[in-house]
Amino acid sequence: MRNRIFSGMRPTGSLHIGHLSVLQNWAALQDEYECYFGIVDWHALTTGYEDKLDLKALIREMALDWLSVGIDPEKSAVFIQSQVKEHAELHLLFSMFTPISWLERVPTYKDQLQQLGNEGKDLHTYGFLGYPLLQAADILVYKAKAVPVGEDQIPHIELCREVGRRFNYLYGNVFPEPQALIGKVPLLPGVDGRKMSKSYNNAISLTASTEEINIRVKQMITDPERLRKDDPGHPEVCVVSKFHHIYTPDIKRVEEECCAGKIGCVACKKYLAENIDKVLAPYRERRLFWDEDGKVEKVLQEGAEKARITAAATMAEVRSALGI
Ligand code: TRP
Ligand code: SF4
């Protein structure tokens, strides 16, 4: 039997090309592992309980983002967390023996409490404290051995391992110890040089058309000291160049020409826009296929059915270990 993977994302807004490498990573794991990919809507509510999120629409968009990048429902279970109630049951059972202090000392807890508190969110809630415990249940309900995530999630995976270990110690060996699979995530800035974020209006959406890509690339900040086309440029301070590093196979040539003052910024940007478009075009195409009536709904329904079978088998073991 192949080892299992679980990973998830909160459906809080459409994805941009900064998220692309994570999804490409997931897609690449699908042959080697039995994959479960959950759209974690309960997690979205832990921080967004007041936001009146249009979760139905957000979930559909997220599923389309995933499918368009190559998450393949023939290979992997793609589903909505809240449709597999076993996650909630395991979370509840974990809460019986997880010390509050473990949750309070997860580094992201205090950081986020403060950061989102400054943005006017009151997160002194039971659900927010339990966020990583619900995440542990997401992972362990599939007995996943690996969890592909970004570096920021390491403390959460560590807590998950501790919770699993404590369960095994108290009730008998049920859970494996999942490993975080940290993929290479190149940090792309937004077109204005700040962090790429939809809320800064500086992101290139995964669904961007050729025209939208052109507009965004034109907005990118270039070497401020370069006034004329034949001035030598400094790619290391140029946002365009950071994108070339990911999207342009002959990046070396572009950099040399920039440094030698042989290529103008307008031409350089045009070339980048073409290269980004080459990557996104097949995704746009596949998105059209999945966007047809009822297809996403069917994927999510079948994904939940598949996930429930695995999760139910784990829960039978868990209940029996607990004697309930
Ligand atoms: N906390 C994760 C994030 O913000 C999302 C998540 C929820 C998750 N449950 C998970 C990731 C389980 C991996 C495994 O990105
Ligand atoms: Fe940036 Fe390209 Fe202009 Fe060089 S030529 S400064 S890499 S946009």
Task: Starting from the CA of residue 19, give the closest ligand.
Answer: 1
The number of the ligand 1 atom at minimal distance from the alpha carbon of 6 is 14
CA of 268 to the centre of ligand 2 (A): 6
62 in ligand 1 pocket by Cβ < 6 Å?
no
Which residue's alpha carbon is nearest to atom 2 within ligand 1?
9
Confidence of residue 31 (pLDDT cuts 50, 70, 90): very high
Residue 119 pLDDT > 90, yes or no? no
Which ligand approaches the C-alpha of residue 81 most closely?
1
What integer is the mean pLDDT of 251-271?
94
Question: What is the model's pLDDT at position 100?
Answer: 98
Ligand 2 proximity of 242 Cβ (cutoff 6 Å): no
- The pLDDT value recorded for residue 296 is 98
Query: What span, in angstroms and rounded, lies between the C-alpha atoms of 287 and 299?
Result: 14
Ligand approaching nearest to the C-alpha of 242 = 2
Question: Cα separation of 142 and 33, whole Å?
Answer: 12
Indicate the range of 181-185, 251-255, 298-302 predicted with least confidence.
181-185
Regarding the beta carbon of 239 and ligand 2, being less than 6 Å apart is answered: no
Task: Pick 108 or 61 by higher pLDDT.
Answer: 61
State the pLDDT confidence band at 199, using cuts at 50, 70 and 90: confident
295 band by pLDDT with thresholds 50, 70 and 90: very high
Nearest CA to ligand 2 atom 5: 265
Mean pLDDT throughout 20-36? 95
Q: Is the CB of residue 238 below 6 angstroms from any atom belonging to ligand 2?
A: yes
Q: What's the average model confidence in pLDDT over 258-276?
A: 95
Question: pLDDT band at 50, cuts 50/70/90?
Answer: confident
Res 233: pLDDT: 93
| Ligand 2 neighbourhood includes 258 CB (under 6 angstroms) | yes
Q: pTM (2 decimals)?
A: 0.93
Q: How confident is the model at residue 67 (pLDDT cuts 50, 70, 90)?
A: very high
Write down all domains in the chain, each with its CATH number in brackets. 4-187+294-322 (3.40.50.620), 198-286 (1.10.240.10)
Give residue-wise pLDDT tens across range 302-314. Answer: 999 999 999 999 9
Q: Write the pLDDT tens digit of every residue in 248-260.
A: 999 999 999 999 9
Averaged pLDDT of the chain: 95
Give the pLDDT band of residue 20 (cuts 50, 70, 90). very high
**Closest Cα to atom 4, ligand 2: which residue?**
258
CA atoms within 13 A on the CB side of 93: 27
Report pLDDT for 204: 96
- Ligand at shortest distance from the CA of 224: 2
